[in-house]
Amino acid sequence: MSEAIKKFMFVNTKAPYGTVYALESLEVVLITAAFDQDVSLVFCDDGVFQISNNQNTEASGMKNFSNAYKALGDYDINKLYVEKESLEERGLTLDNIMDLTYEDDDWAEKPSIKLVTRAELADLMDDQDLVISS
Amino acid sequence: MAMLHTVNKSPFERNSLNSCLTKSKEGSSILLIEDAVVGALKGTIVADKLSAAIANKNVYVLGSDLNTRGFTEADILDGIKTVDYAGFVDLVAEHSNVQSWL
């Protein structure tokens, strides 16, 4: 098998639960990470709602998959970019977003979430081998 | 009897809430369900349009769909009422007909 590592960026643009895109994207992300690829995630547009705090599906009876995002750090997925403008347009701040972390080589807990501007996101996308949007 | 309008898509992604707001009559009711519930949040780019609608229409949001996405009554615009599934059924029964904006 090839040893080549490619830079994969998954761009999440849709709100969770109303459609299956968010859950399916998360599944593909975890599979990709299992093949030791360089994976980063973007949450922009309505995708920012995928990682909103305090998701409670008790009354709706839906499967709450938000806790799975907390496991991303254990799969060495620690580049999670959240678009600043998307938060602002929706009346949100980083306080509304889950506190997702990973452990570095010295077991120190570090934040995985990075707030980026639309312009910075364009540069990050330009730097990828593959960009997969959903 | 007035009409009940339901909207189920995010106003940040589709235009269906806007279509509903511009084509619903005064005194009618609008219920936000599924991904549309995020449109009820305070401080968004659609808040002004929704606040204007609240002045002469009844606007509701399905609480369970709001909670599912991480929000509560405290996060939504003043004047929007939260209903549960039983309240949804009551709204359907109280109105003459229902228009689903897909």
Q: Looking at this predicted complex, what is its ipTM?
A: 0.88
Q: Is A19 exposed, middle or buried (0-12, 13-18, 19+ CB in 10 A)?
A: middle
Q: Give B1 to chain A, closest Cα distance, Å.
A: 30
Span B7-18, pLDDT tens digits? 999 999 999 999
User: What total number of domains does chain B contain?
Assistant: 1
> Chain A residue with minimal CA distance to B40?
A90
Q: Does B43 touch chain A (CB under 8 A)?
A: yes
Cβ separation of A18 and B84 shorter than 8 Å? no
Is the distance from CB of A10 to CB of A40 less than 8 angstroms? Answer: yes
A2 in a structural domain:
no
> Domain of B27: which CATH number?
3.40.1260.10
The predicted structure's pLDDT at residue B82: 98
Residue A123 within a domain: yes
What pLDDT score does A2 carry?
58
Chain A environment of B76 (Cβ under 8 Å): none
Give the residue on A whose Cα is nearest the Cα of B34: A18
Read off the tokens for B27.
Answer: 């005194």
CATH number of the domain encompassing residue A22: 3.40.1260.10
**Residue B19: band (very low, low, confident or very high) from pLDDT cuts 50, 70, 90:** very high
> Quick check: B8 and A18 CB within 8 A?
yes
pLDDT of residue A54: 96
Å between B31 CA and nearest CA of chain A:
15
pLDDT tens digits for chain A (134 residues)? 556 899 999 999 999 999 999 999 999 999 988 898 999 999 999 999 999 999 999 999 999 999 999 999 999 999 999 999 999 999 999 999 999 999 999 999 999 999 999 999 999 999 999 999 99
Mean pLDDT of B41-52: 97
Q: What is residue A43's predicted lDDT score, i.e. its pLDDT?
A: 98
Point out the residue among B12, B69, B85 whose CB comes nearest to the CB of A17.
B69
How confident is the model at residue B1, as a pLDDT?
72
CA distance A47 to A81: 11
Which whole number is the average pLDDT over B55-81? 98
Does residue A127 fall inside a structural domain?
yes
**A60 at B interface, C-beta within 8 A:** yes
Report the pLDDT value the prediction gives residue A33, as an integer from 0 to 100. 85
- Asked whether the whole model's pTM tops 0.80, one would answer yes
Q: For residue B15, give its domain range.
A: 3-101
* CB-CB under 8 Å, B10 with A91: no
Domain that holds residue A46: 7-133
Indicate the number of domains in chain A.
Answer: 1
